[in-house]
């Protein structure tokens, strides 16, 4: 298949859209909290890079939700390499990302104190949209019998 045809395929466009959305989410606020001094939550890039550290403050659930990031990246890599398990990993990242919407509060610093989540920001919506776009890219790719279209 020619490169021009691959670029026009819906799967390719969804993968590109997913990557663009993920990169964009790093520049927007993921969510807002009641404690105005907890400005760490206004930086999505910081959250992606250091979110795993929530486990150190006793935040097991936020750490598990943070795992959506490596699942998405590894799953996307597998989808690009035509591995079906990538769809499952990205699907798990969608579930974990959506689970975040059920949280009422989040850890506020090293002390283990929490602060209320008042509103989801544009960064969250871009983040979860990137997961959903990659999931649909994988589903579309494996729905087609001819994997060479991607």
Can you give the residue ranges of every domain in the chain?
12-141
| The model's pTM | 0.86
Per residue in 82-138, pLDDT tens? 899 999 999 999 999 999 999 998 877 666 678 899 999 999 999 999 999 999 999
Between 87 and 7, the more confident residue is 87
Q: How many CB atoms lie within 10 A of CB 113?
A: 12
What gap in Å lies between CA 7 and CA 104, rounded to an integer? 42
**Residue 37, SS3 per DSSP:** coil
Residue 83 phi/psi, 5° resolution? Answer: -105, 120
């Amino acid at each position: 298949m020619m490169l021009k045809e691959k670029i026009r395929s819906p799967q390719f466009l969804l993968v590109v859209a997913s990557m663009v959305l993920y990169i964009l989410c790093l520049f927007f606020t993921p969510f807002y909290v009641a404690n105005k001094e907890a400005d760490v939550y206004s930086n999505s890039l910081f959250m992606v890079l250091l979110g795993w550290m929530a486990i150190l403050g006793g935040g097991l659930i936020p750490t598990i939700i943070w795992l959506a990031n490596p699942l998405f990246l590894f799953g996307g890599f597998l989808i690009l390499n035509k591995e079906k398990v990538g769809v499952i990993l990205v699907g798990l990242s969608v579930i974990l990302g959506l689970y975040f919407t059920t949280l009422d509060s989040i850890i506020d610093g090293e002390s283990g104190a929490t602060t209320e989540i008042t509103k989801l920001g544009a960064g969250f919506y871009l983040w979860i949209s990137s997961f959903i776009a990659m999931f649909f890219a994988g589903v579309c790719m494996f729905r087609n019998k001819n994997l060479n279209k991607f």
